[in-house]
Structure 1
Amino acid sequence: MQTYGRDILDIADELTAAYVEVFTAPPFERRHPEETRIAFRKRLDGDAERAGFQAWVERSDDGRIAGFVTGWTTPAPFRTDRSYGSVLDRLGAEQVEELLIGAFEVDELGVRAHARGTGLARRLLEAATQANTRAWLLAWNQNHAAIAFYRHLGWHEPEVRGPERDILVFVNS
């Protein structure tokens, strides 16, 4: 497994191809591959510049990316764009401050179909959490397999104060 910082951009096209393969397959099959590619590639350029950005990538024997995890340290003040506003509504400002600010935010975790069932997703999350003892992530409420996986690994949902939209928040501590 290889660790990256800003140098993830050296393999950005390859990582983007892996991302599109993972996140346009079920349960994400409604996503358009080209739109997904463009959006992820644009986000990756910005994400690699974030404070505390880290990524772990594992390759298959044939050299292709088998899986990846990316994330960064959640800054203060807590953002309200994208899904962050829903997180704030759901958890409340006190829990966001206590559990998420300063913790490693797992942004993307993906394993290509050929590498599923090998324990790779677990190993990727372990690499991220060994480097960052406090971590959190979001899961789409329709991705039942991922939700069960996070729960199986001991990640849990903090006390919820607001309405569920379409995301669940998991923390590892």
Structure 2
Amino acid sequence: MAALVLMFLVQPSRHGSHLITEVLADPASRAALASCALALVGVTFTLLFARTRLHLARVDEESLLLVHQGMWRRRVVRLGPGHQVRLVAGPAGRALVFAPDGSLAAVLRTYREVWRRDDVIAALRGAGVEVDHEHRLNRAAEIEAAFPGSTGRFERRPVLLWSVVVPLVVAGVFLVAWFLDA
């Protein structure tokens, strides 16, 4: 992560640091503003990604505390008897955490390998949390049909995602070209 932050800050080019060269030449130029914006966005997203983590800690003999720090929000779920974790395999795999009343408590798309570790499964079962594996579900639409609310709109409809991403990328390319065209 440090190397990625350094790359966004330095922005290496054939003539040294692109960011420093443009800022020293003319701090108000389009190229300098674009370079500073790239550095700011790159460092921000790298640091947000670096802070993501999953932590499972024993609170007492009967419960565990699941803390998932994502890029944007933090989820804390107290796991105990009656809770259920369903591990969905396949390309759209995720861990689904259900409350004792059957409602969906958390959906964790990252850290799938953590849920398959023997020590994690032993800790969950020791706290009375049932752990099941779902091997029959491969696509997001199938997961949504089996467990409503467990997938996002863009996952279920990739065309919708592309209808948002493509115009944003095209607009971004034109914006960068306009900034760099002096």
Shorter-chain TM-score category? under 0.3
Normalised TM-score (structure 2): 0.23
The structure with the larger Rg is: 2
Structure having greater relative contact order (Cα 8 Å, sep ≥ 6): 1
